[in-house]
Structure 1
């Protein structure tokens, strides 16, 4: 059985300094492992890393199939503690240059949601789910 644990998500960056700067402007804390060629950010439960896409494709043994303007078929999520935080988070993202794709709105499932793209069109959902449960570190353990 494969261990059921997601511990690190890596975004392949076409322009690492640009993406790194964007997440720094969001106020995200970097790890001591960050360098000019790699960035890693501490988040609740999962680390987020940014690595040059050419190097990532070599490491994985695959060809680069997408361009930054295209949807990559993956979204990330930031789940917040209140419906007001969805709106506030989207405004903060907007203030540092994030592209708002979907303005905050009430969701059919009872929460509130919005979407933004970082400078390389990696998609992020900001959501409040009234039934979400977080542990003491802020990691979501149930929704």
Structure 2
């Protein structure tokens, strides 16, 4: 019997425009993706799971309670280099979003940082240390 594969990661947003801005800073492209008032998905590159962003209002209607962001990372994104981690974090900070853990050289051999979208969903950014 085949095993299930990870197809999508979902977050919710109280402000869909602001969510789109944040995830664009992480490299997601929405032009040509699925966009509606209550659900957006950026273009999906071959081999990667979908990112689904639902409005908090829709999730409350479907689940009967308001969504809450976790206190740990929702997902992690591999960057090409330590410099890309730093640059991405700088863009996110300049746009007014939260940097929860500034980039640092982790003892396990990666440049690592944690950022948060406007609703508090956490995303780790990392890259192998050079050398």
Q: TM-score range by the shorter chain?
A: 0.7 to 0.9
Q: Which residue number corresponds to residue 46 of structure 1?
A: 49
Give 5+ residue unaligned stretches, structure 1. 131-143
- Distance in structure 2 (CA, Å) of the matches to 1:12 and 1:49: 8
State the TM-score, normalized to the length of structure 1: 0.72
SS in 2 for 1:127: strand
Once the two structures are TM-superposed, the CA of residue 125 in structure 1 deviates from its matched residue by 0.7
| Structure 2 counterparts to residues 50-129 of structure 1, below 5 A | 50-59=53-62, 61-64=63-66, 66=68, 71-129=70-128
Give secondary structure in 2 for the equivalent of 1:42: coil
Q: 1:3 to 1:73 in 2, by over 3 A?
A: same
Q: Which runs of 5+ in 2 are unaligned?
A: none
